[in-house]
Structure 1
Amino acid sequence: MRIIIILLLLAGFSATAQEFKMGKVSMEELQQKFHPADTSAPAAILFKRGKSFFEITSDRWFLVTEVEARIKIYKKEGYEYANEEIDYYTGGLSVKLYFTDAYTYNVVGGKIEKTKLRSDGEFDEKVNENVSIKKIVMPNVKEGSVIEYKYVIKSPYFHEVNDWYFQY
């Protein structure tokens, strides 16, 4: 009986994950002047999520990985966090990598201003015959900015799942 009561009590507790929606940057995030856990941090990753799934077409399987991130820039030293570089395979059956959303948010006149990444802020660099790097430079970055981006990697090499790093 005691075990049943304990199980019922534990069933009443639920864990909820941090809520994150692309495009829903809050005024609170933008007005934050320093990171609560480390006041000397020049920038902080507020949220980063990745998911992978299989996409099957009539003649091929693909591993699709979607990554979403939100980063707060506190100081000029944190501007480097507004630049992202992702390497990907371009030999043989090419991997496709593209950004679907990328925005910089600032407070201007008491309102949230949203600046979209333009094509002149995206670059492809060929490292060698098999590897390229996709680079983005976020626009209109200032102290206090919040940046958000989402990119997709579509790979015909469905048996090779990318590494995921949880600590930076």
Structure 2
Amino acid sequence: MNEILNMALPLVGVVLGGVITFVIQQSSIRKQQEFEREKIKIDNFYKEEIRKFETYNKILQIDGIYRIHDKSHHQGASELNRDNYNEYMRPVLFDIFHLLDEEIAEEVNNIEDIYERQAVMEEADEFDQEKLSNSYEKIILLIKQQFKKHRESKRNLRSA
């Protein structure tokens, strides 16, 4: 009986050691997998942010090159040029629509809703041009504010 016990104890020790090692390895693997998932999420977030800011930059460039929005400083009247908006700005906005900040997406939707209503009704309301101009101006303002926040966060990172 003593011999069996002497043979069984090392075997129990090996099995118990194997079980403990297995549990520890599984825990380490799960932690590593969770770390990798988080890293992928963060990487994807930053890739999307880079794409968004590159497109924001393109939007500001288009706004400066083409006459998307005409504003008369003497009369205070402003007008969104529908043809230029549809040809140059709209495709860029909708290319990253899923990445747009909520406020910008709302203003794009406002413009789209007005143009859609005008197409269905075959006429414009008297305040449509003002609403279109306001929405477009807000889009440009919000993009500029995003760049400002981005620059401030970079400055804060450098000084920390």
Q: Report TM bin, short chain.
A: under 0.3
Bigger Rg, which one: 2
TM-score, structure 2 as length reference: 0.23
TM-score, structure 1 as length reference: 0.22
- Taking CA–CA contacts closer than 8 Å with sequence separation of 6 or more, which of the two structures ends up with the larger relative contact order? 1
More strand by share: 1
